[in-house]
Amino acid sequence: GQNIDQPTEMTATEGAIVQINCTYQTSGFNGLFWYQQHAGEAPTFLSYNVLDGLEEKGRFSSFLSRSKGYSYLLLKELQMKDSASYLCAPISGGYNKLIFGAGTRLAVHP
């Protein structure tokens, strides 16, 4: 089976930094995705990690620890438009079954 845990909701202030955690258990591992989803829209790609460590991409960074089954998404200099759901998805082995966590709904306030 597969277990993925993310906090359900988070709030933060515009201009601040927020870290969204994801813990997972999978059978086999071929990397982990983070996606952003605004209300009423399809999810869009944010990051992919397959090796341990931090991947930085502008205001967004993603970290992976394979041995701990742990990842986080770091959002810096928060903007109002960052209010969205953030979805974590580890890729299991074999035929690349892709299951998402329930998502973290982030609300950014002025």
Binding site residues, other proteins, CB under 8 A = 30-31, 33, 35, 42-45, 48, 50, 85, 87, 89, 95-103
Q: Shortest approach of other proteins to residue 6 CB, angstroms?
A: 9
- CA 77 to CA 105: how far, in whole Å? 18
Nearer to other proteins, 60 or 100 (CB): 100
- Burial (CB < 10 A; 0-12, 13-18, 19+), residue 103, is buried
Q: Shortest approach of other proteins to residue 95 CB, angstroms?
A: 4
Side-by-side strand order, sheet with 3-5: 3-5, 18-25, 70-75, 60-65, 53-57
Q: Shortest approach of other proteins to residue 42 CB, angstroms?
A: 4
Nearer to other proteins, 48 or 60 (CB): 48
Nearer to other proteins, 11 or 44 (CB): 44
Phi-psi region of 95 (alpha: psi -120 to 50; beta: other; left: phi over 0): alpha
